[in-house]
Structure 1
Amino acid sequence: MPGSRVGTTDMTRWWQSGTIYQVYPRSFQDSDGDGIGDLEGIRQRLGHLVALGVDAVWVSPFYPSPMADFGYDVADYCGVDPMFGTLEDFDGLIADAHGQGLKVVLDFVPNHTSERHPWFAESRAGRGSAKRDWYIWRDPASGGGPPNNWASNFGGSAWEYDEASGQYYYHAFLKEQPDLNWRNPQVRAAMNDVLRFWLERGVDGFRVDVIWHLMKDAGFRDNPDNPGFAEGQPDIARVLPVHSADQPEVFDVIAEMRATIEAYGDRVLIGEIYLPLERLVAYYGHDLSGVHLPFNFQLILSAWNARGLAELIETYERALPDGGWPNWVLGNHDQHRVASRIGAAQARVAAMLLLTLRGTPTIYYGDEIGMTDGEIAPEAVQDPWEKNEPGLGLGRDPERTPMHWTAADDAGFTTGTPWLPVGPAHEANVADQTGDPRSMLALHRRLLALRRAHEALSLGSFESVAATGDVLAYRRRRGGETFLIVLNLGHEPVAVDGLGQHRAILSTHLDREEARPAATIALRPDEGLILVP
């Protein structure tokens, strides 16, 4: 029928029916009082994730690193930075997580290393180095200066001059993060060995950082200027990254990664990809040989209105390749928190949307209690992007502030001085919300319990329902069960007719469960409902 999309077969994988929860280790729980979260802290808080009802924890980088970009500049892919603990701590975390029914997904950062990685030290030793070609080195342009106009995502040129050898090396991000040369088969073999190292330790999958950057144009052609660039935009927006990212050869690389992890059974490969939908879905790969889940950030990037979101959802569903499993994300460590973007009331509606759409949802730590962006004074800024391009509002510190466990001044996060300021924990914290049956945490628990109890909400088909104004509506069906989800994205009450007799089983206000069906669905301002016939 029009507006309908059939779900997968009964042979489902855990990541299709499950929910993923992202932990930013520095900010989740500090176990030793140094003000920085760690692996032992995550282990201590696994009970929160079990009670919440998620299925997997995705852990952002904890590898040895100089922390120029807080762990996304890796100096050793097969270790743990002492500030986060030890490999034994990691093994303990895996064992405890698996013992409590949770999967563990790691961040994999294959595009670039730290400049202090031994590979780069050897590559930089001279033009004749055995690892020179492990990174991207180029001679200066004919008239001097950088080889081309490629820009760094963190501002300025993406080329750094090396006085000793007279060449430039490429860095898509900080100069302390030189890009690996993925055209070199030795690099590819070494990085697949890294995957095997963690798979042997029991890891259930990987989220691959900036996966669309791995391959660059072999001819290193200039990127075209961006005709839409305007002052006030980040420096990277000056050019269109036609030649510095999203190259066709990347799909062979991803297929190799996919083969590596699938040799270990039921594992998941997730790709971080900030591209338009038509390019995003290409990363499922030919015959679905790409990533299992190309991260879909459209709920973060799109305007928050019912008609636009309805069109977005339909467009995404139509764009998916046959057999491609959808996914949805409301927040992450690089984007302002959903409660700050759309307000506390609509954040509850957004939670119902995220957890009832077809596809795998990912929850960012703290969003389950409605945390908002922290306030970062200029002298407290940590993010290198904000330091490189101050005044543009690019800083990612606000969405990385410590988790609120209690209403205490330290939010129950640390006994020391936190690495970023703790926000107003008395406004949103786990301890207070655990005892509140109408809290944001209670709403997430109820929604996740419904997903687990009813396959129609996790694996079922999706059918859009015609609606007008500020109302977004759709049905989920499977195995004889049907759920109608109706969401008021506006701030005024609205009545919806013509959808048949239904009764509400869950409201985002958590104060409404109706015994009798009614023909008119009455929505209060900022309210979402899950209904059954």
Structure 2
Amino acid sequence: MSADAGAAADRLNPLLYQVNTRVLLHELGLDLGRAVTLDDVPDAFLDDIATRGFDWVWMLGVWQTGPAGRAVSATEPGWLAGYREVLPDFTPEDVVGSPFAVVDYAVHTDLGGDAALARLRTRLAGRGLRLLLDFVPNHTAPDHPWLEDAPHRYVVGSEADLTAQPQNWFRVGERVVAHGRDPYFDGWPDTAQLNYRHPDLRAAMTAELEGVADRCDGVRCDMAMLLEPEVFAATWGDRSLPPDGATPVDTAFWPGAIAAVRRRHPGFLLMAEVYWDMEWQLQQHGFDLTYDKRLYDRLRSGEASAVRGHLMADPDFQHRSARFLENHDEPRAAAILPDLLQHEAAAVVTFLGTGLRFLHEGQLEGRRVKAPLHLRRRPVEEPDPAVRDLYERLLAVLADPVLRTGHWQLLDTAPAWPGNPTSDAYVVTGWSTAPGLPLRWLVAVNLSAEQAQTRVVLRGLLPDAGTLRLTDRLHPGTVYDRDGADLAADGLFLDLPASGCNVFAVSPVEEPT
């Protein structure tokens, strides 16, 4: 990892809040009765994000899109059915097109342009908040100027390709161009596939990334693993040979592009959306953070042993993982975890571990409907008081500096008594101010659907003399005093119900003099 990459990654365990910019502005416009821009984002909205303890705001979907992408969004039959399912009163005016069908990395004119974003960034900075934006490296919109001005930058095919797979190819004048896609699904019909084997395309996209970095403090790179040479070759084969005879390039794109950005903006943060067990590979290319969908999937499966195995990964990998329970691509957490205790257990494992804590707008209020990104509008939903209370308690816990800048570790457990297998249901972690110092937090979760018992192994992790107080900060009123010597010798006995958890702050009890 380079020194500059380390500088960005040293922002320990940050909190990120994702905003659907176009929905936010549309709802503001309805309230104000007029068209609005980024200048109209209320100070009170930004104050609320900062007060909750967030460090980063991801303004999703600020870039210029075009009429061709919107036209596809407004006519694709499967997408239209999804719109009507979410919005029974859907109208064509609700379609604004995908924010990932980018025509130009300039802020959309409807949002106030680059100047409005710069003013918003200044307001965020005044509250200690940093701005994250999108970068969509794999493809452009189908009406991007390069399709006319620099067609060699795209993957081109033949009439036979178009006839055999019309869902994956489209015509641009006399040429056949690929839709952007990943190798496991049909193409996205509102995109055009860029050709990363062409040296000119690589130079152009590096310049685009540098331009994005001029406008913000960090980027989230969409589907970043699609650019890896082995993935690109498997997807496109000989069709990606440069059509103009240029020498094809088959090395990784990201190391050079990231180095160029860091020369211009030292400490700039880059987060990769990445799947297929390629997270470590992209971290080695220089990404500060990578999506951790494996943890998300394993928590959804409810298998504690799989979660523990995942949390045993290299500490640097853990620190550079972005953990989430939902985002714009995943179902709403409150919908897939309608049982509040299950939701709480998954949230505790996700957000009280190390790495970036990534929360999605609406998640804190318990929204259940995943709104299509092609729309400017979402259904009205009343906040869920129980879910809102859960996240208020969780964010209050996360305000403790030890959970932001301290040392995290996975703790060992043992059967509560011989022959009791239920200890395997637990995931137990701890936080201290630094490696080798006593635990300041102990976090225990029973991920099973049954009552379970365990003993947490604590020898060498706590003072072995005096009385220690364990105060559950997530569940006020739960307080235990335990003898330090007993904890060192026998461990901490826990007996939690299904999906139960404890979030103990650990402190010594002052002995009377």
Give the one of 455, 461, 470 matched to 1:504.
Answer: 470
- Show the 5 A alignment for 1:390-429: 419-423=377-381, 425-428=382-385
Give the conservation status (yes or no) of the 8 Å contact 1:35–1:419.
no
Give the conservation status (yes or no) of the 8 Å contact 1:62–1:80.
yes
Equivalent position of 2:98 in the other structure: 70
Q: TM-score, normalised by structure 1?
A: 0.70
What is the rounded CA distance, in whole Å, between the counterparts of 2:292 and 2:228 in structure 1?
21
Instruction: State percent identity of aligned pairs.
Output: 19
Equivalent position of 2:391 in the other structure: 441
Question: Is the alpha carbon distance of 1:256 and 1:62 closer, same or farther for their aligned partners in structure 2, counting shifts above 3 Å?
Answer: same
Question: Is the alpha carbon distance of 1:445 and 1:185 closer, same or farther for their aligned partners in structure 2, counting shifts above 3 Å?
Answer: same
What is the rounded CA distance, in whole Å, between the counterparts of 1:218 and 1:488 in structure 2?
38
Give the one of 320, 324, 327 matched to 1:325.
Answer: 320
What is the rounded CA distance, in whole Å, between the counterparts of 1:12 and 1:171 in structure 2?
30
Q: Which moved more, 1:329-338 or 1:488-497?
A: 488-497
Equivalent position of 1:22 in the other structure: 18
Equivalent position of 1:474 in the other structure: 429
State yes or no: 1:80 paired with 2:108.
yes
Equivalent position of 1:120 in the other structure: 147
For 1:15-34, what per-residue CA distance to the aligned partner results, in whole angstroms no more than 9, with x for missing partners?
43312221121334532227
What is the rounded CA distance, in whole Å, between the counterparts of 1:445 and 1:60 in structure 2?
22
Give the conservation status (yes or no) of the 8 Å contact 2:226–2:232.
no
What is the rounded CA distance, in whole Å, between the counterparts of 2:325 and 2:332 in structure 1?
8
What is the rounded CA distance, in whole Å, between the counterparts of 1:317 and 1:35 in structure 2?
52
Equivalent position of 2:169 in the other structure: 159
For 1:414-452, what per-residue CA distance to the aligned partner results, in whole angstroms no more than 9, with x for missing partners?
xxxx722112x143499xx5xxxxx123213212212xx
What is the rounded CA distance, in whole Å, between the counterparts of 1:222 and 1:295 in structure 2?
22
Question: Is the alpha carbon distance of 1:219 and 1:110 closer, same or farther for their aligned partners in structure 2, counting shifts above 3 Å?
Answer: closer
Equivalent position of 1:295 in the other structure: 291
Equivalent position of 1:59 in the other structure: 59
Q: After TM superposition, give the deviation of residue 133 of structure 1 in Å.
A: 0.5
Amino acid at match of 1:442: E
Amino acid at match of 1:489: L
> Any idea what SS the aligned residue of 1:257 has?
helix
Give the one of 442, 457, 481 matched to 1:484.
Answer: 442
Matched residues, number: 429
Question: Is the alpha carbon distance of 1:426 and 1:146 closer, same or farther for their aligned partners in structure 2, counting shifts above 3 Å?
Answer: closer
- Show the 5 A alignment for 1:374-393: none
> Any idea what SS the aligned residue of 2:50 has?
helix
State yes or no: 1:132 paired with 2:129.
no
State yes or no: 1:311 paired with 2:306.
yes
> Any idea what SS the aligned residue of 2:65 has?
coil
Equivalent position of 2:29 in the other structure: 32
For 1:314-352, what per-residue CA distance to the aligned partner results, in whole angstroms no more than 9, with x for missing partners?
335436778973332221101101222122322222222
What is the rounded CA distance, in whole Å, between the counterparts of 1:77 and 1:335 in structure 2?
25
What is the rounded CA distance, in whole Å, between the counterparts of 1:348 and 1:106 in structure 2?
29
State yes or no: 1:187 paired with 2:187.
no
> Any idea what SS the aligned residue of 1:32 has?
helix
Question: Is the alpha carbon distance of 1:422 and 1:461 closer, same or farther for their aligned partners in structure 2, counting shifts above 3 Å?
Answer: same
For 1:134-163, what per-residue CA distance to the aligned partner results, in whole angstroms no more than 9, with x for missing partners?
1111224xxx344987xxxxxx7422245x
Equivalent position of 1:340 in the other structure: 335
For 1:470-508, what per-residue CA distance to the aligned partner results, in whole angstroms no more than 9, with x for missing partners?
332122334324122101224555444454686433354
Amino acid at match of 1:59: M
Amino acid at match of 1:134: R
Equivalent position of 1:210 in the other structure: 223
Question: Is the alpha carbon distance of 1:70 and 1:168 closer, same or farther for their aligned partners in structure 2, counting shifts above 3 Å?
Answer: closer
Amino acid at match of 2:496: L
Q: After TM superposition, give the deviation of residue 41 of structure 1 in Å.
A: 5.6
Question: Is the alpha carbon distance of 1:421 and 1:57 closer, same or farther for their aligned partners in structure 2, counting shifts above 3 Å?
Answer: same
Equivalent position of 1:265 in the other structure: 266
Q: TM-score, normalised by structure 2?
A: 0.73
> Any idea what SS the aligned residue of 2:445 has?
strand
Amino acid at match of 2:29: D
> Any idea what SS the aligned residue of 1:512 has?
coil
Higher alpha-carbon Rg = 2
Amino acid at match of 2:379: P
What is the rounded CA distance, in whole Å, between the counterparts of 1:491 and 1:36 in structure 2?
50
> Any idea what SS the aligned residue of 1:76 has?
strand
What is the rounded CA distance, in whole Å, between the counterparts of 2:61 and 2:366 in structure 1?
24
Amino acid at match of 1:350: A
Q: After TM superposition, give the deviation of residue 365 of structure 1 in Å.
A: 1.7
Give the conservation status (yes or no) of the 8 Å contact 1:64–1:77.
yes
Task: Write 1 or 2 for the structure with the bigger share of strand.
Answer: 2
- Show the 5 A alignment for 1:163-182: 164-165=173-174, 167-172=176-181, 173-182=187-196
Amino acid at match of 1:56: W
Give the conservation status (yes or no) of the 8 Å contact 2:408–2:432.
yes
> Any idea what SS the aligned residue of 1:262 has?
helix
What is the rounded CA distance, in whole Å, between the counterparts of 1:525 and 1:323 in structure 2?
27
Question: Is the alpha carbon distance of 1:71 and 1:148 closer, same or farther for their aligned partners in structure 2, counting shifts above 3 Å?
Answer: same
Task: Write 1 or 2 for the structure with the bigger share of helix.
Answer: 2
Give the conservation status (yes or no) of the 8 Å contact 1:136–1:179.
yes
What is the rounded CA distance, in whole Å, between the counterparts of 1:503 and 1:195 in structure 2?
51
What is the rounded CA distance, in whole Å, between the counterparts of 1:32 and 1:477 in structure 2?
46
Give the conservation status (yes or no) of the 8 Å contact 2:124–2:130.
yes
Equivalent position of 1:127 in the other structure: none
Equivalent position of 1:231 in the other structure: none
Give the one of 402, 405, 408 matched to 1:454.
Answer: 402
> Any idea what SS the aligned residue of 2:174 has?
coil
Amino acid at match of 1:475: G
What is the rounded CA distance, in whole Å, between the counterparts of 1:322 and 1:348 in structure 2?
25
For 1:36-72, what per-residue CA distance to the aligned partner results, in whole angstroms no more than 9, with x for missing partners?
9963465541112111111111121211113445211
Give the conservation status (yes or no) of the 8 Å contact 2:213–2:219.
no
Give the conservation status (yes or no) of the 8 Å contact 1:352–1:447.
no
